[in-house]
A and B are shown apart, each in its own frame.
Chain A
């Protein structure tokens, strides 16, 4: 594998292969009710408790579009800087399965609600634009449960009819790292918009991954394989790595690649053939006659545009320009709407530079250790900004601040109170410090003599001793100044 910059290439003999990846992301629309019925969509409910007659496809039941889901899809389209189609059509995708009660999925085939757009990725060697082919709305299927009974399959229809956005990228991705960045960016944009919670554990975000390989420099695409329904970024990366190498091996071996649908086996870390192109379903798409074409007006779209919050790209730009953050810092702070909100709350009343360092450094490390999200942070933005102010005004040193911070992590306490209760206030009174320093010099006469005779390295020893005697509370700057004079 070439490490030439961040280019991801597969080397075999004298050949270098490039990997071409396109993703079909299925993102569950954040909404209280389903795409065509009024049933609830809450995750984790008892099986078959969120199922209406429409979801279970009873005779004579008809779908009625949920306007909120349409708005969510359009907002997402705006977030992807995409063309919003004022007229879109719902089609039926016909196939039989036990967890598909209608015998068809209502989806959008020829005329999706959102057309071409783009997503900007921040890669280590610069920005990369990934094209969006389309976004369409469709129903989720129910869930088949095969392991509750040796002979029977159980079906849970809670998910049946839940609104999904299928977001199809162009085949613009070239490495597992780019896939990682793409999914994270997409997730971030949708979370900013509130259109998808991006929760991969709960299946709110999953993807079909299309992989092909070609010799470096080639303009033609290779034959692609589609890896179905991968539900974590790690698995996507593993699947791509395995699949790309498998394809390269076949080509090097003089064989051809069959266009097929494959499954990723997470236990064996390999992809397996699921069905070939010949066996693929004929979905018999046709416009759903129960639904009229979906038409939205310019005003409808403009109104939604006015509801769009500042998105990560714009926020990043603002953070860099206004707060003089580095692109690296800005990237981290805008990656998640909750993080950026937290950051902006902290800096409302405290120093930007210190806040940036404390959030990216101490806070992230501490949250990581406790496996907490920023929204679950034991330290509120308000208290973190108080802590930063205590450092800034010299009440405590950076070192003491870390002690205070640790205590704050145990429960959201006011740092001022911790400093008072534990007597951690920094000693900045020159007279008190002089007394301390005199005592230290007195106790270490021999070292003081050595210092004076030229062993200047011992200065650090004296600083350390003073800090130790003061219990870490001595103002380090003042200690330095006074020590220099006294020695």
Chain B
């Protein structure tokens, strides 16, 4: 079996269970391909030797009842991994080795998967292009000049380039769905409270959510089923009945009502995106769904609301990186001097920008005008969705307002960069699940994604719709392995 890395997760699981492949063979294959793909800069930290050791151990005594038996896997470097460096893409955590494991990654290892490395991401997940990482930008396997999206850019690039069969990212304002869209892969942002935040380096606590990224909907469903557990260690974790998403996956979505929100037809939206959306509607109809025009009137306010709430929380969440206890420290004349030097040298420009925005909107005299107002608008945005979900089962939108842009194209224009999240942030603000599936290409041949938004805790439903549409769309990613010499 030469093309091990070309196999989907389901195929790999099947082949390991039927002993056609050993974990060692699979792990070795992905490691070898990863080693040949250094140019993409997807990894921050590699853990190949340990991985091979674990694979060998697995093969000696395989537990084939596990959901991810001996499957190698790299994860976003925002998840704390015991005894393996966790940087959050930042210089300030460059030397940080956790003594603990995040709940989400622990769930994955409990089902037999094997960690092969930590994937690049925007610094503290703040970015839409993976260009804010202290460890350099990541290339999109679609084209060397393209960003892979962000903040889970190392994750999207690694899955698209088949350096890992599946991966996990985190999504605060679109950080799973946008990079999935930019790389022709599938990414699910689960309902807030579905996956534990314990052990994930925090960006914006009320928005952060871990989720699966994969090459297809079925793999995504299986990984979601593994990572989503109730966790007492996270006070915002919600105890609800979780499905066995992959087992209950069905393409039968006849009669499902799918809403098309008119406010997502934004000014200056490229014709290609408009066309993709129209095509998406046709695919959904082909699957037997009923299309309903809907309105989400406060959509326009989502982006400014997000860029108040997220930086506000981030400014406080990142206060702990002060050089006192762990991580990078720049020596100073006194405590304040040490703080200033540590944080000026340890954080990159985008993180510093967001800390300043966040500090500003929370400061006395501005709190009511910004933070409090933003919280009120956030409630209105959530109410919009609540109202609409009385009429429809899901909502269909484009994932992003454009295809992947060029590396360096938007680095000096933060607002234009922020606009990338326009279709994804409302979902985070409302705490809902959303999935991005590849649905076509633009004129340049770059992938474009469609987003399906569901009711809270209704991951199964949007996975089903995505599964049905995936078959109709029959997307093929044009990846030439140009980086492998």
Contact = CB atoms under 8 A, between A and B. Distances in A.
B197 interface: yes
A57 B323 CA distance: 12
Given A62-B234, A289-B205, A155 B324 contact: yes
B20 interface: no
A254 interface: no
Contacts of A57: 320, 325
B260 interface: no
A288 B86 CA distance: 25
Interface string A301-331: 0000000000000000000000000000000
B449 to A, nearest CB: 28
B392 interface: no
Interface stretch (A93-101, A211-219, A475-483): A93-101
A58 B326 contact: yes
Contacts of A352: none
Given A59-B86, A59-B93, A64-B235, A289 B204 contact: yes
A96 B319 contact: yes
B80 A59 contact: yes
A436 interface: no
Interface residues of B, number: 42
Contacts of B335: 98, 153
Given A62-B235, A63-B235, A286 B197 contact: no
Contacts of A285: 362, 367
Q: Give the interface SS of chain A, mostly helix, strand, loop or mixed.
A: loop
Interface string B312-347: 110110111010111000000001000100000000
Nearest to B99: A53
A60 B231 CA distance: 14
Interface in B171-224: 197-202, 204-206
A285 B324 CA distance: 23
A286 B335 CA distance: 25
Nearest to B193: A292
A258 interface: no
Contacts of B98: 58-60
B100 A53 contact: yes
Interface in B70-108: 80, 86, 88, 93, 96, 98-100, 102
Contact of B320 (A63, A103, A286, A291): A103
A94 B319 contact: yes
B319 A104 contact: yes
Nearest to A286: B362
B98 to A, nearest CB: 7
Contacts of A61: 198-199
Interface in A138-164: 153, 155
A253 interface: no
Contacts of A153: 335
B446 interface: no
B190 to A, nearest CB: 17
B363 A284 contact: yes
A56 interface: yes
B254 interface: no
Nearest to B313: A289
A62 B320 CA distance: 13
Contact of A64 (B88, B199, B201, B232): B232
A373 B326 CA distance: 45
Contacts of B86: 59
Contact of A286 (B88, B99, B232, B316): B316
A59 B367 contact: no
A6 to B, nearest CB: 41
Contacts of A58: 98, 100, 325-326
A53 B198 CA distance: 12
A102 interface: yes
Interface in A391-420: none
B262 interface: no
A290 B205 contact: yes
Contacts of A289: 204-206, 236, 313
A282 interface: yes
B324 A60 contact: no
B206 A59 contact: no
A206 interface: no
Nearest to A98: B324
Contacts of B467: none
A159 to B, nearest CB: 15
Contacts of B397: none
A92 B362 CA distance: 11
A57 B326 CA distance: 10
B233 interface: yes
A291 B235 contact: yes
Interface string B51-86: 000000000000000000000000000001000001
A65 interface: yes
Given A101-B325, A286-B371, A292-B236, A60 B319 contact: no
Given A96-B322, A286-B362, A60 B316 contact: no
B235 A290 contact: yes
A284 B236 contact: no
Contacts of B412: none
A102 B320 contact: yes
A104 B316 contact: yes
A62 to B, nearest CB: 5
B312 A286 contact: yes
Nearest to B202: A60
A60 B235 contact: no
Contacts of B367: 284-286
A101 B102 contact: no
B480 interface: no
B204 A59 contact: no
A291 B200 CA distance: 16
Given A62-B197, A286-B362, A103 B234 contact: no
B205 A59 contact: no
A101 B363 contact: no
Contacts of A102: 319-320
Contact of A290 (B236, B325, B326, B364): B236
Given A94-B316, A103-B322, A282-B363, A62 B233 contact: yes
Interface in B264-292: none
Interface in A146-190: 153, 155
B424 interface: no
B246 interface: no
B363 A60 contact: no
Interface in A74-124: 92, 94, 96, 98, 101-104
B359 interface: yes
A92 B359 CA distance: 13
Given A103-B316, A284-B362, A60 B198 contact: yes
Contacts of A290: 202, 205, 235-236
Given A98-B324, A291-B235, A59 B316 contact: no
Nearest to B362: A284
Contact of A60 (B102, B204, B206, B362): B102
B320 A101 contact: yes
A103 B342 CA distance: 14
Contact of B319 (A62, A103, A155): A103
A233 to B, nearest CB: 33
Contacts of A56: 325
Contact of B364 (A62, A92, A282, A288): A282
Nearest to A281: B364
A53 B80 CA distance: 13
Interface in A32-55: 53
A208 to B, nearest CB: 20
15 contacts: A53-B99, A58-B100, A58-B325, A62-B198, A64-B234, A94-B319, A98-B322, A101-B325, A103-B319, A103-B322, A153-B335, A155-B324, A282-B363, A286-B316, A290-B205
Given A60-B201, A289-B236, A291-B235, 10 more contacts: A56-B325, A60-B200, A64-B232, A64-B234, A64-B235, A94-B362, A103-B319, A103-B322, A284-B315, A284-B316
The 6 A-B residue pairs with the shortest CB-CB distance in the complex, in nearest-first order: A103-B319, A289-B205, A284-B362, A289-B206, A60-B199, A57-B320
